[in-house]
Amino acid sequence: MAEQNNQPAQEMTQQELSEQIKIRREKLAQLQAEGKDPFEITKCEVTHHSDEIKDNFDELEGKDVAIAGRLMSKRIMGKASFCNIQDRNGNIQSYVSRNDIGDEAYAAFKKFDIGDLISIKGFVFKTKTGEVSVHAKEVTLLSKSLQVLPEKFHGLKDQELRYRQRYLDLIVNPEVRDTFIKRSRIITEIRKFLDGKGFLEVETPVLQTIPGGASARPFITHHNTLDIDMYCRIALELPLKRLIVGGFERVYEIGRVFRNEGISVRHNPEFTLMELYQAYTDYNGMMDITEEMFRTVAQNVLGTTKVVYGGHELDLGKPFARKTMVDAVKEFSGVDFDQVADTAEAKRIADEHHVEYEERHVKGDILNLFFEEFVEKNLIQPTFIIDYPVEISPLTKRKPDKPEFTERFELFIVGREYGNAYSELNDPIDQRHRFEYQEYLREAGDDEANMIDEDFLTALEYGMPPTGGLGVGIDRFVMLLTESVSIRDVILFPTMKPLDMPKKAETKAPAAVAAPVAEKIDFSNVKVEPLFEEFVDFDTFAKSDYRAVKVKACEAVPKSKKLLKFVLDDGSGTDRVILSGIHEFYEPEELVGKTCIAITNLPPRNMMGIDSCGMLISAVHEVDGHEGLNLLMVDDRIPAGAKLY
């Protein structure tokens, strides 16, 4: 029967947990007092891992082995015990007997705790039940675990805790370890594939003076010695294309990039990107290499090209579909943008189809908005969407026969984008005009628009050959091949908001504590909308169903600067999705866990391809000509679904 001090953390009260931590520290202190400090051990012999012993039992039976790992379970049965050791490749049982290791060593073994790191030397055998095991002849404590591990199947299901304490996640959830082993293999296979195609792997700067290669908001830092602001790179593109100018005909890089944007199940501020560039080919060549790479990596890592994701059966072994953006929009919305004359007509059609746009948007932008609204969610099987408008493709070569479009594609699978590629623009004059238009957009308030990179323009003026370029988000690719729901499930240490902000140290104790003074707020320069003069009858008002709702998840809506997507608990047992245009005032991560007020019986409204079922209540006002907004948040003790009267 197991000892009481091996209770999993989930089954203990907080008081019991604290007591067990205290006992573990006392055990360590006793060991140190006896001159047996495990932390003084610098190495131990390991001859085999668990899977090697199990897979090669016939060869190893009766032979001595040395294993090491974490003690995950222990059954004390008088003079003999069984324990389970977890190493990097799995776990294996060990039989420990007082007669084999001696009285003193066995007494010490009985005091070991779950989570301790130990080594065992012994011979390989099978128990009466047929389980491959190691019969211990020597047991050594290598490292003392001072914390109590969560119970394997119930103790670490809190997603937030799993991401914050990934080390615990890897210990108690073997499937998580398998995901990250598979991630490593995926990246290895990508490198093998590209190396086999004659590509040269290179490294380019993470810190840049001009962020370029993508439309994204960068992180800004400062170099003290040079006394200049610098940016964490948002893409790998421009340095790699400089290398094409320099004569490297095939280059690629796999590296971290950083975008100062929202966090969601598909977005992390830092992520891994693969970009490659090949001289003397175009976007058709990039489609061929993308399709072959996805197929080859899946086959080599999974042993099959058939993948299940989001309940959909996918076959990466079949030819990927290829559709122009115009044809795809026509297929799913009924609007043929080849027949739309100009921006004014495009905006009129957008109004008719309830597609939101900004005043600065032109025809090409609105075509892309239609694509996002009507098409993306329908692209389940691997599909290349080709020929993007020039307005949203500042680094891409125009189509010779249709100059308002570019030779660009994106790969979509299950409604998500997995790759982006161009026939690279190598005309320095056209490139300058594109940069100048991007600069105009920045001045108009688009902080994701490109800056003018004079050095890159100079490089192009020396001559860049016709070139195809491709970018693939490694994290999303890993999500696809591991059937992971969130990008955080495939990034070992995803970005998280600190639980507690650092407290400022007090340099001097106050002589006396003053009574708290209520903050005085100046509302003299605040304007609010006039009260409605028209009355509404009570029966009509009573039909509006105002409820308290809990924010379970919140993320920025892709391609929208204003909208946040809320997943809410409204007390019904079914998640409710509401979109609200308050991103200017709140970051999504700060709203998770809050209790808000919503109208829940409004008809669904489709926004950016998502049905918004209700409306969150905010208070709006005007200060010095600028809009102010406060999302109405109430006491967290109010339960989800509580009705307002």
Sequence ranges of the binding site: 410, 417
Residue 373 neighbours by CB under 8 Å, 6+ apart: 333, 353, 355, 606, 608, 609
The token pair that represents 569 in the structure block: 């608990």
CA angle 221, 227, 229 (to 5 degrees): 30
Q: Could you give the count of Cα atoms lying within 13 Å of 556 in the half-sphere of its Cβ?
A: 18
Positions of E strands within 177-326: 200-201, 207-208, 220-223, 228-232, 250-258, 270-279, 306-309, 312-315, 321-324
Number of other residues whose CB lies within 10 A of the CB of residue 339: 9
Print the SS3 string covering 383-439: EEEEEEEHHHCCCECEECCEEEEEEEEEEEECCEEEEEEEEECCCHHHHHHHHHHHH
Which candidate, 187, 237, 188, places its Cα nearest to that of 211? 237
Number of other residues whose CB lies within 10 A of the CB of residue 551: 23
Q: Which residues are annotated as a binding site for Mg(2+)?
A: 410, 417
Does the CA dihedral 316-317-318-324 come out positive or negative? positive
CB of 141 closer than 8 Å to CB of 153:
no
CA distance 329 to 609: 13
CB of 326 closer than 8 Å to CB of 335:
no
CA distance 297 to 274: 14
Backbone angles phi, psi at 78, to 5 degrees: 75, -115
Residue 562 neighbours by CB under 8 Å, 6+ apart: 581, 582, 583, 584
What is the full DSSP assignment across 148-201? Answer: PPPPTTTTT--HHHHHHTHHHHHHH-HHHHHHHHHHHHHHHHHHHHHHHTT-EE
CA distance 529 to 527: 7
Q: Find where tokens 């866990």 sit.
A: 593
User: What are the CA-CA distances from residue 204 to residues 195, 207, 574 (Å)?
Assistant: 18, 9, 48
Number of other residues whose CB lies within 10 A of the CB of residue 42: 5
Amino acid at 103: D
Burial of 584 (0-12, 13-18, 19+ CB in 10 A): exposed
3-class SS of residue 126: strand
3-class SS of residue 4: helix
Residue 237 neighbours by CB under 8 Å, 6+ apart: 212, 213, 214, 275, 395, 469, 471
CB of 133 closer than 8 Å to CB of 79:
no
What is the full DSSP assignment across 48-93? Answer: --HHHHHHTHHHHBT-EEEEEEEEEEEEEETTEEEEEEEETTEEEE
